[in-house]
Homo-oligomer: A and B are copies of this chain.
Amino acid sequence: MSKNLTTRAEDYSKWYNELVVKADLAENSGVRGCMVIKPYGYAIWEKMQAELDRKFKETGHSNAYFPLFVPKSMFEAEEKNAEGFAKECAIVTHYRLKNDPDNKGKLIVDPNAKLEEELIVRPTSEAIIWSTYKGWVQSYRDLPLLINQWANVVRWEMRTRLFLRTAEFLWQEGHTAHATRQEAIEESEKMMNVYADFVQNFMAIPVVKGLKTESERFAGAEETYCIEALMQDGKALQAGTSHFLGQNFAKAFDVKFANKEGKQEFVWGTSWGVSTRLMGALVMTHSDDNGLVLPPNLAPIQVVIVPIYKTDEQLDAITGQVNELVGELRELNISVKFDNRDTHKPGFKFAEWELKGVPVRLAVGPKDIENGTYEVARRDTLTKEIIEKDGIVIYLENLLKTIQSDLFNSAIDYRKLHTTEVNTFEEFKEVLENKGGFVSAHWDGTPETEEKIKDLTKATIRCIPLDQVEEVGKCVFTGLPSVGRVLFAKAY
């Protein structure tokens, strides 16, 4: 197959868009800003879901499901949250179509079927969930509530890009309620750590854990924890957020509990989410000009085996040997595909699986059968080795682990190279322009300075790292005193 993929050096953004479509991850739909997640892309998302879901349950959470729609009066109850999402939400106003009297076969909205109250398609579910929690919480015995939802949400973004920013996207949203401030803060931190653990060890993407500044905080939160990743083009991507909501939603929806002393108190809340945006981060962290590169933990196919043959007898001999190997690999839960299609040549197959990022490719021809070998190719390094068939199962099992950690280490190396401490605004601009990446700089702590820097450079404060070192310094822009560096970057 011919790939015709734009290279990253030519046009990173174009490379990304083409790759997502050509590797069968997703495509634009006939609905403005909404994507179709294709089976191969969805299979990766399912692997993410399964692992995250396992981690959520392990940390005591249960899944539930809440309505897609939020009545306007409920939506506006928590004012800051409403303000944050009001400008980009899909609104249902009618509940019936009727035949167009002027146009046979066409339909129009029936003006007699107007809703009494408009419904907002959920951009996030705090409002509908906290309005429900009111009925679920009476006493401290009902707390904590530890609930997660897998759902679709809609935010009417004007400029959309597959996975990175779409009008509808898939995500999970955790919503918890606690008896004390401290417990809610601990929950927010715990879930940030769950996300970091998943993204680093499963997706092989290194992240910085930190706090958002006030202006980047979730609308309605007291504090937003985040994990920030760095893409190959030097731009940052917010990979997950976990919010400490204080008592904001409890107050907006009057969710109180009787404490052990019998006194009524408002409960404390958190919410946390990751979305199909992570698919974009996956592509932009590991892939190359030949196509996707998938970490083995997320690859729907971890090992593909391509037979090289001219005669049916040759294929028979190969098939016999391969079937044995396939069985042994599956016993180890390694997902393997024997690509014995007779409609395509080996070269086409090699290119296809390379494009789709299968971590390990085995080729086997008559000579290999004779010699008792396989040709083993790594997708990440594009290197090949001849491996004897005795012992290949253990070899492959280890190779997959090696690839998983090599990908993470490469990404760590890239990030180290692209994290720069600067002490003047000249340096700041110079690094941003010529090198990109995270710029670690002192900041005076005011939203005004943050805003001005953003206007001048397009860089935002990605986070105040949790491992920030105390260091007396001067704001890179105003020269005012600062107690530690924060991370700036241009971001997705």
Contacts and interface: CB of A to CB of B under 8 A. Distances in A.
A91 B90 contact: no
Nearest to A129: B36
Nearest to A40: B62
Given A63-B46, A120-B97, A152 B76 contact: no
A89 B97 CA distance: 7
Interface string A19-34: 0000000010111001
Contacts of A445: none
Interface in A139-173: 141, 147, 151-152, 154, 156, 168, 170
Interface stretch (A80-88, A212-220, A301-309, A356-364): A80-88
14 contacts: A29-B66, A30-B128, A30-B132, A34-B68, A36-B67, A42-B64, A82-B97, A86-B97, A86-B98, A89-B96, A89-B97, A90-B92, A95-B156, A96-B156
What's the number of copies of this chain in the assembled complex?
Answer: 2
Interface of A: 27, 29-31, 34-39, 42-43, 45-46, 62-72, 74-76, 79, 82, 86-98, 105-107, 109, 118-121, 128, 131-132, 135, 141, 147, 151-152, 154, 156, 168, 170, 343
Contact of A168 (B63, B64, B69): B69
Contacts of A71: 30-31
Given A93-B109, A95-B91, A106-B76, A37 B62 contact: no
B92 A109 contact: no
A131 B29 CA distance: 9
A57 to B, nearest CB: 10
Contacts of A105: 76, 79
A211 B443 CA distance: 71
Nearest to A97: B86
Contacts of A70: 31
A1 B287 CA distance: 57
A135 B152 CA distance: 24
Given A29-B128, A31-B71, 16 more contacts: A29-B131, A30-B71, A30-B131, A30-B132, A31-B128, A36-B65, A36-B132, A42-B65, A43-B62, A82-B107, A88-B96, A90-B92, A91-B93, A91-B94, A93-B109, A96-B156
Nearest to A45: B65
Contacts of A82: 97, 107
A105 B82 CA distance: 10
A165 to B, nearest CB: 15
B90 A95 contact: yes
Contacts of A65: 36-37, 42, 45, 170
Closest 4 CB pairs of A and B: A34-B67, A39-B62, A86-B97, A37-B65
Given A31-B128, A64-B36, A97-B120, A107 B86 contact: yes
B96 A86 contact: yes
Given A39-B62, A87-B97, A67 B29 contact: yes
Nearest to A135: B27
A132 B27 CA distance: 9
Contacts of A141: 343
Nearest to A153: B68
Nearest to A170: B65
Contacts of A168: 67-69
A76 to B, nearest CB: 5
Contacts of A39: 62-64, 147
A417 to B, nearest CB: 36
Most B Cβ at <10 Å: residue of A74, A87, A107, A135: A107
Contacts of A79: 105
